């Protein structure tokens, strides 16, 4: 296998490669967070804060005119959320909701009685011109507002839920976190028996992460979690929907590499 | 491996299983078309006509109010056709276009100077109330229209093109044909050197097709082509986008199993 090229993704999301990247990556990389066989699944809170700063900068300074974060792409990858058709949820939460949420698409096909949105940057996102929940309700794709009962401005790792949820949604989030094993445990604990979990993310291979660890640095995405960890997490649920996507070539919106889209039910009576 | 359940899909697209399907399947199935290692890639003209009759029946009698055939789903699977952005094509063709076409979304991204639509049922499909090209021009999602220079009411296998195309689109078609090796050769021949081919189809495994051949019958879909044949065809092109999608579980708007989405150039020297 050829050695991967040096790549440095700046706080401004500029992708620098080759010799220009080499000097910077040799000085700053996430190799010290590499685990023996799980990719990079945990980083320090300081490293995470750097990533969150880049994320805030991305939405508020670099992309104030954006109206979506590939939310419709995710909806189509999830078969238009058809498996939710007609269902009612008492307590739903989206973890790492960003300024637009995926819940605004998903909320179109099911009935949500009480909605919680969590994102460590959620209070900052309220200042994004196109934030979909800035007025206290989430603007669902159908045009109907869905009241947001609670906004939680915490990382998932620090969230101590007071209740369990029968719908938990976390799409395209774990690369932005700092402790994935803890997050997986939190999700399991916060999901009510019989509740549904929607999980999507990239499916890394440890060997690939090792090969790239001292040749790449991505300011906003410190974590690259080996698929075994993800498989171990989703195997705890009863599978409702599973889609595994592999992409080679160029994909502007949906990205290359491997990704997983999963819906699972926590065992137990609803 | 457990034996697959009996499945019979009627002309009305009703899915019968178990004992309800068994006597029908034992009387009528496509096992005689099974090849040694390529799945079912060729059937008789009579069998194909039966499938086409079901296809016509579906659109004109069963689904006159439908406005799409999962065209948007495929657009998202093709990364919203982002790789076509800004390109201009002199001669584009869609093979097996159906009443709505995928070209409507493709053309949204690029400039097409001369468009040909081919479908053996195309003159019947003009009577579908929501056919997107019934007035001689294809209605695009933007509200613009694209003149249809030529409509071809032939199966791909019998098409004798008078020119070469620099854009050939064939999505979700090969299960409805009668001779896939001929089709693959036709596509190669009709594509201009340097031209682009967009292909999507299901990825069958010969062993699975063999196991099901005496236990299932799908009126509208006689062909189940082994992936080796599909891959050998695609490998002739210089691929710029290659996506495989494996899906299982609760699905309403897509197919279970594995699919391939491909964009490639015909080499200039070919």
pLDDT given at position A269: 83
pLDDT given at position B1: 54
Short-list B153, B117, B258, B149, CA closest to B201 = B258
pLDDT tens-digit readout, A111-163: 999 999 999 999 999 999 999 999 999 999 888 899 999 999 999 999 999 99
Chain A: residue whose CA lies nearest to B255: A79
Q: B76 and A72: CB-CB below 8 Å?
A: yes
Is B203 in the A-facing interface, judged by CB distances under 8 Å? Answer: no
CB A154 within 8 A of CB A120: yes
d(CA A229, CA A209) in angstroms, rounded, equals 14
CB A177 within 8 A of CB A48: yes
* Residues 6 or more apart whose Cβ sits within 8 Å of residue B192: B91, B164, B165, B166, B266
| Total beta-carbon pairs less than 8 A apart between chain A and chain B | 84
ipTM over 0.95: no
pLDDT given at position A4: 77
Is A32 in the B-facing interface, judged by CB distances under 8 Å? Answer: no
pLDDT tens-digit readout, A190-220: 999 999 999 999 999 999 999 999 999 999 9
> Does pLDDT of A3 surpass 80?
no
pLDDT given at position B131: 98
Is A61 in the B-facing interface, judged by CB distances under 8 Å? Answer: no
- In A76-144, at which residue ranges do the beta strands (DSSP E only) sit? 88-89, 92-95, 111-112, 115-118, 137-139
Q: B76 and A245: CB-CB below 8 Å?
A: no
pLDDT tens-digit readout, A81-102: 999 999 999 999 999 999 999 9
Residue A19, CB-side half-sphere exposure with 13 Å CA sphere: 0
Q: What stretches in chain B show pLDDT beneath 50?
A: none
> Does pLDDT of A2 surpass 80?
no
Which residue(s) pair with A42 in the sheet? A179
- A185 min Cα distance to partner chain B (Å): 24
> Does pLDDT of A1 surpass 70?
no
Instruction: Kindly list the residues from chain A whose CB atom is less than 8 angstroms away from the CB atom of residue B263.
Output: 249
Q: Would the pTM count as exceeding 0.90?
A: yes
pLDDT given at position A110: 96
pLDDT given at position B255: 84
Q: Which of A251, A262, A264, A265 to mutate to test the interface with B (most CBs of B within 10 A)?
A: A251
Higher pLDDT, B59 or A270: B59
pLDDT given at position A190: 98
Is B76 in the A-facing interface, judged by CB distances under 8 Å? Answer: yes
Chain B: residue whose CA lies nearest to A255: B79
- A45 min Cα distance to partner chain B (Å): 34
pLDDT given at position B207: 96
- For chain B, the maximum distance between any two Cα atoms, rounded to a whole number of angstroms, is 56
């Amino acid at each position: 296998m050829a050695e991967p090229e040096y790549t440095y993704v700046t706080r401004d999301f500029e992708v620098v490669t080759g010799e220009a990247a080499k000097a910077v990556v040799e000085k700053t990389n996430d190799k010290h967070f590499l685990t023996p066989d799980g990719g990079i699944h945990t980083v320090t809170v300081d490293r995470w804060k750097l990533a969150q700063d880049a994320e805030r900068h991305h939405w508020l300074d670099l992309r104030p005119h954006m109206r979506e974060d590939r939310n419709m792409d995710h909806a189509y990858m999830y078969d238009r959320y058809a498996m939710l058709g007609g269902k009612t949820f008492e307590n739903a939460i989206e973890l790492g909701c960003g300024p637009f949420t995926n819940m605004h698409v998903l909320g179109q096909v099911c009935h949500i009685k009480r909605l919680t949105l969590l994102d460590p940057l959620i209070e900052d996102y309220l200042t994004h011109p196109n934030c979909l929940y800035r007025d206290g309700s989430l603007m669902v794709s159908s045009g109907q507002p869905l009241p947001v009962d609670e906004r939680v401005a915490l990382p998932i790792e620090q969230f101590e839920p007071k209740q369990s949820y029968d719908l938990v949604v976390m799409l395209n989030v774990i690369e932005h976190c700092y402790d994935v094993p803890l997050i997986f445990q939190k999700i399991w604990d916060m999901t009510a028996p019989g509740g549904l979990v929607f999980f999507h993310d990239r499916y890394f291979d440890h060997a690939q992460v090792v090969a790239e660890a001292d040749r790449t640095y991505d300011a906003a995405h410190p974590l690259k979690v080996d698929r075994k960890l993800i498989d171990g997490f989703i195997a705890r649920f009863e599978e409702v929907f599973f889609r595994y996507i592999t992409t080679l070539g160029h994909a502007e919106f949906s990205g290359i590499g491997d990704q997983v889209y999963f819906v699972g039910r926590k065992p137990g009576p609803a | 491996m457990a034996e697959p359940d009996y499945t019979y899909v009627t002309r009305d697209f009703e899915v019968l299983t178990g004992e309800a399907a068994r006597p029908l399947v034992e009387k009528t199935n496509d096992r005689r078309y099974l090849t040694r290692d390529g799945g079912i890639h060729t059937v008789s003209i009579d069998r194909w006509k039966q499938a086409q009759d079901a296809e016509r029946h579906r659109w004109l009698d069963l689904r006159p109010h439908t406005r799409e055939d999962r065209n948007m789903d495929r657009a998202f699977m093709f990364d919203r056709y982002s790789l076509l952005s800004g390109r201009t094509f002199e001669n584009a063709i869609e093979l097996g276009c159906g009443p709505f076409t995928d070209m409507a979304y493709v053309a949204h991204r690029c400039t097409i100077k001369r468009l040909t639509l081919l479908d053996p049922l195309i003159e019947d499909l003009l009577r579908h109330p929501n056919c997107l090209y019934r007035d001689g021009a294809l209605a695009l999602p933007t509200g613009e229209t694209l003149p249809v220079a030529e409509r071809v009411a032939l199966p791909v296998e019998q098409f004798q093109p008078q020119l070469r195309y620099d854009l050939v689109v064939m999505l979700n078609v090969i299960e409805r044909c009668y001779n896939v090796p001929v089709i693959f050769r036709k596509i190669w021949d009709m594509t201009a050197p340097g031209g682009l081919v967009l292909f999507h189809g299901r990825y069958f495994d010969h062993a699975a097709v063999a196991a099901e051949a005496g236990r299932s019958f799908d009126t509208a879909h006689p062909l189940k082509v082994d992936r080796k044949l599909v891959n050998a065809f695609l490998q002739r092109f210089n691929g710029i986008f290659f996506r495989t999608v494996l899906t299982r579980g609760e699905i309403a708007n897509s197919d279970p199993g594995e699919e391939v989405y491909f964009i490639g150039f015909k080499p200039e020297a070919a």
